[in-house]
A and B are shown apart, each in its own frame.
Chain A
Amino acid sequence: MSSKKKTNAKPSETVEEESHLVKEESKPDISTKEESAVVPEPTFEKSIASRIVSKFGAKTVIGFIKPNRIRINTKKEDILSVASYIRDELNFDHAESVSGVDYPASKEIEVVYHLGSYSDQQLEKQILTLATRLPREDVPNPGNDSTRMPSLRDIFYSVEFHERECFEMLGVYFEGHPDNRRLLLPEDWADIPPLRKDFRIKGK
Chain B
Amino acid sequence: MTTQLPPGIQLEKVDERIMTLNVGPQHPGSGHMRLIIKVDGDYIVSCDPDPGYVHRGEEKMAEYRNYIQNIPHLERPVIHDSCNILYPYCLAVEELLGIEVPERAKYIRVIASELNRCVYTLYWLGIYGIFLGHSTMFMWPMGDRELFIDLLEGLSGARVTHAYLVPGGVRNDAPSNFEEKCLRHVNYFEKRLKEYEDIFYQNPVLKQRTEGTGILSRMDAIRLGTTGSVLRSAGVDFDIRKKEPYDVYENLDFQSQVLKDGDSYARSRVPYLDMLESCRIIKDALKKMPKSGSVRTKLKPNPKGGNDEAYRRVESGRGALGMYVVSDSKPEPYRLKISVGSFRNLICMPYLLKGEKLGNMPAVYWSLNYWPVEADR
Contact = CB atoms under 8 A, between A and B. Distances in A.
The answer to whether A binds B is yes
Interface of A: 24, 68-69, 93-97, 99, 101-102, 112, 114, 118-119, 124-125, 127, 129, 142-144, 156-162, 165, 167-169, 173, 180-186, 194-195, 199, 201, 204
Interface string B236-250: 101000011000000
A69 B347 CA distance: 26
B222 A96 contact: no
Q: How large is the interface on B (under 10, 10 to 19, 20 to 34, 35 or more residues)?
A: 35 or more
Contacts of B347: 157-158, 160-161
Contact of A93 (B222, B322, B334, B337): B222
A99 B244 contact: no
Chain B contact residues: over half helix, strand or loop, or mixed?
A: mixed
A127 B309 CA distance: 13
A161 B376 CA distance: 12
20 contacts: A96-B313, A96-B339, A97-B339, A99-B335, A112-B324, A118-B222, A119-B222, A127-B311, A144-B7, A156-B225, A157-B224, A161-B346, A181-B8, A181-B10, A184-B55, A184-B376, A194-B60, A195-B60, A201-B60, A201-B61
A96 B322 contact: yes
Give the interface centre of B8, B10, B59, B320 by most chain A CB atoms within 10 Å: B8
A83 to B, nearest CB: 14
Contacts of A158: 223-225, 344, 347
A67 to B, nearest CB: 10
Contacts of A114: 311, 322, 324, 339
Give the interface centre of A24, A112, A142 by most chain B CB atoms within 10 Å: A112
B120 interface: no
Contacts of A168: 8
A99 B337 contact: yes
A184 B307 contact: no
Contacts of B9: 181
B216 to A, nearest CB: 13
Contacts of B311: 69, 96-97, 114, 127, 129
Contacts of B243: 124-125
A125 B244 contact: yes
Contacts of B339: 96-97, 99, 114
Nearest to B243: A124
Given A94-B224, A142-B8, A158-B223, 15 more contacts: A93-B223, A94-B225, A96-B225, A97-B311, A99-B337, A101-B335, A102-B335, A114-B311, A127-B313, A142-B7, A144-B7, A181-B9, A184-B55, A194-B60, A201-B64
